[in-house]
Amino acid sequence: MAAQFRHYKYFLLTLAVIAIDQTVKLLVHYKMVFGQIGEIKVFGDWFKLHYILNEGMAFGLQFGSEWGKLGLTFFRIIAMTFIAILLYKLAKRNLNSGLLWSMALVLGGAMGNVIDSIFYGVYLNNAPFDAITPWFHGQVVDMFYLDVWEGYVADWVPLWGGKYIALWPIFNVADVSIFLGVAILLVFNKRFFGRDESKQFSAEDFSD
């Protein structure tokens, strides 16, 4: 029983991320006023709580076309299913725990935003007015607002010189979880994917 729990303990972190993410989103939806009028300053002008809806991907990115949202939602479902299966398989082989906890963070964040996409269009009635169906067209609730900087970039700066740039990402708990999971994977990739681990990963990734 204890050995079996070791395979599933990483999913507890995934469930915790989902629970925290959904709790925060629902509190924001029911307790905050939408848009700038309901904005709450947390640390001066640079970090605020700001209720906004995101039709697309993490940090406000968009996925265009009428069927883009539906395609994005199904892509997320496929991706998180793949990650969940892979996480379980690698956990059974007792690979580096840091790798597995990182994957659990990414999985929790992905599932948190997928719940919004699948259900919020119906239960929170927040699907875009032109959506072909409210199912799978829910908008993701974002609330953490980093008002980093905005203004004109000096002419000598490559690519962005002379342009007006606004750096103010708005995101949620799920986005933070995905970002942290990916960042940890990138920073510690040599430790996670050492020679022995990479051989085991490539040879047995989907074996029982």
Catalytic positions, written as ranges? 142, 175
Count of positions (residues) in the chain: 208
C-alpha to C-alpha distance for 192 and 189, rounded to whole angstroms: 5
Q: Cα 40 to chain center, whole Å?
A: 23
Tell me the sheet residues that pair with 137. none
Taking a C-beta distance cutoff of 8 angstroms, is the pair 107, 83 a contact?
yes
